[in-house]
Structures are given as structure tokens and as C-alpha cells.
Amino acid sequence: MSVIEQSFTVKFEYKTYFTKEVFSPENEIFRNVIAQDGSKGRRKLFFVIDEGVAQTHSALIPQIKAYINKNNELLELRGEPFIVEGGEAAKNDINLVNQILQAVNDYAICRHSYIIAIGGGAILDMVGFAAAIAHRGVKHIRIPTTVLSQNDSGVGVKNGINTFGKKNFTGTFRPPQAVINDTNFLVTLSERDWRSGISEAIKVALIKDKDFLEQIIADMPLLNQRDIQAMNRLIYRCAEMHIQHIAGKDPFEMGSSRPLDFGHWSAHKLEQLTHHDVKHGEAVAIGIALDTTYSFLIGLIGEEDWKKVIHLIKSLGFALYHPALSLTEDNHHLIIKGLQEFREHLGGELTIMLLERLGKGIEVHQIDNYVMVEAIGKLCELNK
């Protein structure tokens, strides 16, 4: 037997910027990101923009065109920006990916060109996936426009779409060239979208940083009043912790451990069961409440800590329960199927993050379905 063994390392590096009015003539962040990429000549740009963002910020596309014209020695706009429906619908429609691939072909977008995604997490996921498979990888820049995407999904390395009725079933791990968080996009968010992304901050604080959890609790009145400084504090720390985790030992999730998905096994299933009427952040808040309650019921955390988490989630305006949690088929709760789907998505053994204490998560490999149903019942009562 003969064997040729190969081993190599690929270094990925990207920055997350925090700014205001990214396409104002004086703001050079976007230009500098591209100027410093090591390529030569003018870079071709193709933009994909969330329809809701384009409608709310009607000056955005003219601003982009003026910015590119001002920097036309470096930047070249190819085609009109592609405006697509935002939200989970973007990840459910494979035709949108195909249309982006068509644009890459039609506008001669090459591996030294850029696809720029402006929108919420679903748009960023879908566009990132299209960029990753075009020419085996076209550079892309993410400009997240929601709390959820600025503090979590937009700063990571994952891209994907939903297929076979399963969230993120088809996707890639490919980092962006850069992430640019623009505060201006947050002030026009709906109440639901403003609140929704806070759940991811609660999640990471609960499993990693009690001090951050206490900061969220202290800032709760300000967050409810839509104080932009309090939100910027939350987004920065949450994004920082997500980025630190990604830089750890398993950025492409080769193993079965995914601690940053605390509360997510049920959240993903709840989104599916409600046909995405429940937003991702809202589902995560319920998932956090559920797994925190389960942690309490099996004796991992005490009643005082459990009540503290439940009070925080409720006080921020999240629901603790949705009727879809109690849907059954053949006397089995449909939400419990999320455990098996979560295991399949990760591969290997079931690995679920629970709470050992506030600020410290613990991984378990078994869930007692009867206790989980009891936890659902408790949330139903508390939600009344």
C-alpha cells in the first residue's frame, strides 16, 4: 500500500467595523477595506439589498452610487443593485441564489470582485452562500442592518439557505472580507426587530459572561426606551464574544459541540412549526427560557437564578411560550423532534448546552423528554 499524506493551513482574517453613515462621502471605511485587499486595479462591485432597507432608506442607493463615483479610480459598480425580499423568505427561495449567480456571470464578477450584502441576517446568509459557490468563492462584504445581524449572524463565518424544510440545511463556512456595522440602520427598525436581536446577547452572556448579563439587566430600561448608546454597548460586546468564540479551536464546527447555539435546538424547530411567523430572535428567547427552565428542573441551577432569567426575558417584551411548543402528533410533542434534527445537523452525538450557573454553560448529551415537556408546561403558565 502506498499513501501520500497532505496537510496545510489556510489563514482567514477579517475585521468588523463599527461606524455611522458608511456611504457618506467622508467615511473611508468601505473604500479602505477594498483598497487593502492586495489586488490591483478597479474592483467590480455587485450589491444585493434587503427590500425593506431600500424602502426605509430611500437615499441609500443614490448614496452608494455617489460614493462609488467619488472613488471610481478604485470602485466600479456592475449593474443595478439587486433588491430582494428580506426575512426568512430570502433563505427559502433557491431562485434568489441562482439570480445572484446569473448576475456574477452577466457582469463578469470575478474572484477579485465583490458581492456586497446589505440587510438582515437572512439576506447575509443567502448572499454569502451565493458568493461562496460562485467561482468557488467571490469576495463578499456584509453590512448588517438589524440588531440580530450586527451582534451575531453577520459577524460570523457561516452562510446558508433553508432546504427540505430545515433551517440552514444547505450552506458553507466562508468568512467575509469585512463586516461593517452602521448604527444608522438601527434607528428605523420596528419594535420587533429592535428587540429580537437582544436575545442573542442574553444567550452569550448566560453561557460565557455573568458581568455582561448584569450589564444587560442594568440597561434593560434603556433598551426598552430604544436608547442607541445602550444598544451599541450590547452589540459591541455581543459581537466581540461571538468573534472570540469563532477564533477558537473549532471555527468551522467540525465537532459536535456548538455552545453558541444555547436555546437554538427548539428555536429552529419553532420557526419551522410556525412557518417563520415567529422571528429568529423571538424563537431564541423562547428557546433560552425553555432550556433555562429545564436546567432548573433537573437541578443544575437554583430557583433564584431561574427566575432572574425569566424576569429579564419577560421584561424586555419577549414571549416565554408559543402554542406551537405544545403541538403533538401521535401523542408526541413535535418540538422534541428538534433534538434529533439538531443532532443530525451537527453530526455525531447529541450535544446540548444548558446552564451550570449564570455565566457558565455546560454540555449534556441526553435530554429527558418528559422533563422537557414539563418545562414547556411551566412556560405556558408563566406566559399567561
pLDDT tens readout for residues 275-306:
989 999 999 999 999 999 999 999 999 999 99
| Spatial separation of the C-alpha atoms in residues 51 and 74, rounded to whole Å | 27
Taking the C-alpha atoms of residue 309 and residue 139, their distance in angstroms, rounded to an integer, is 40
What are residue 139's phi and psi, to 5 degrees?
A: -55, 140
CATH of segment(s) 191-382: 1.20.1090.10
Average pLDDT over residues 14-27: 95
In percent, the amount of the chain with pLDDT more than 90 equals 79
**Where are the CATH 3.40.50.1970 domain residues in the chain?**
15-185
Q: Which of 168, 180, 187, 191 is nearest to 268 (CA)?
A: 168
**Gap between the Cα atoms of 105 and 99, Å rounded:** 10
The pLDDT tens digits of the residues spanning 99-122 come to 999 999 999 999 999 999 999 999
Give the DSSP letter of residue 113.
Answer: S
Q: Which helix (H) or strand (E) holds 203?
A: helix 198-208
- Sequence ranges of the chain with CATH classification 1.20.1090.10: 191-382
For residues 56 and 151, the answer to whether their CB atoms sit within 8 Å is no
| 116-156 residue pLDDT tens | 999 999 999 999 999 999 999 999 999 999 999 999 888 88
CATH architecture assigned to 15-185: 3-Layer(aba) Sandwich (3.40)
Average pLDDT over residues 301-330: 96
Torsion of CA 216, 217, 222, 228, to 10 degrees: 0
pLDDT of residue 345: 65
pTM for the model stands at 0.90
Q: How far apart are CA 303 and CA 327, in angstroms?
A: 27
In 3D, which of 198, 180, 29 has the Cα closest to residue 119?
180
Q: Which residues pair with 354 in a beta bridge?
A: 362
The angle that helices 210-224 and 303-315 make with each other, rounded to 10 degrees, is: 30
Spatial contact of 199 and 288, defined as CB atoms under 8 Å apart: yes
CB 34 within 8 A of CB 75: yes
- The pLDDT tens digits for 373-383 are 999 999 999 98
For residue 222, what are the CA distances in angstroms to 175, 229, 349, 379? 33, 9, 41, 26
- Categorise residue 164: left if φ over 0, alpha if ψ from -120 to 50, beta otherwise: left
